[in-house]
Amino acid sequence: MPCYSLEGVTPVVHPSAYVHPTAVLIGDVIVGPDCYIGPCASLRGDFGRIVLHRGVNVQDTCVIHGFPNQDTLVEENGHIGHGAVLHSCTVRRDALVGMNAVVMDEAEIGEAAIVAACAFVPAGKKVAPRTLVVGSPARKLRDLTDDEVAWKLEGTQVYQELSRRCMASMVEVQPLQEEEADRPRLQGSVVQSLIATKRG
């Protein structure tokens, strides 16, 4: 992976964490155990420190950055969806930041809360635990149900398993020129979208 020391401060990646080779880590970045960092994610610890606790996933094209002398923190089992941006904020344990959402300076996403896709959480906003926030600026839509909290945790555990799968078997290859007969399907964990679980 592109990993850069800056002024003598080198990123830390726990041996059980998976960081995709196209992700970029710069300076004061600490990636804890069982984390997953997806393709083209950018974790720029060139001003403030970035800390990811155990089991966090930061998906493809996410950007994490912050101001000098401020930490950007994602606590255990934090789930950062595709394309999200975190800046000098705190994401508490078991919270989810949805795809293409933005969480700004000194905002705090409460434990087991969900920030909806494309939401904008303004600087300093405190999102209460176990709530769903939506929109720009983000506002509380409602409290989360036990089923929704459990669904979120299941999705996070799928990414923790993906981290192990990637470390065990992902290799760079040349693409095939055509689909092979009886092409296999990946046999990873099964997880459904929230809307699919509500239909079922």
> Is pTM, for the whole model, over 0.85?
yes
* pLDDT at 197 exceeding the cut of 90: no
Q: Answer yes or no: is 163 within a domain.
A: no
**Structural domain containing residue 43:** 3-143
Confidence at 186, pLDDT banded by 50, 70, 90: confident
Q: Answer yes or no: is 79 within a domain.
A: yes
**Domain count of the fold of the chain:** 1
> Could you read off the pLDDT of 81-108 as tens digits, one per residue?
999 999 999 999 999 999 999 999 999 9
Q: What distance in Å separates the CA atoms of residue 171 and residue 125, rounded to the nearest whole number?
A: 42
- For residue 186, give both structure tokens: 């990946």
Residue 68 sits in a domain whose CATH number is 2.160.10.10
> Could you read off the pLDDT of 14-56 as tens digits, one per residue?
999 999 999 999 999 999 999 999 999 999 999 999 999 999 9
Q: What distance in Å separates the CA atoms of residue 35 and residue 25, rounded to the nearest whole number?
A: 14
Q: Answer yes or no: is 161 within a domain.
A: no
Q: Answer yes or no: is 76 within a domain.
A: yes
Q: What distance in Å separates the CA atoms of residue 41 and residue 21, rounded to the nearest whole number?
A: 10
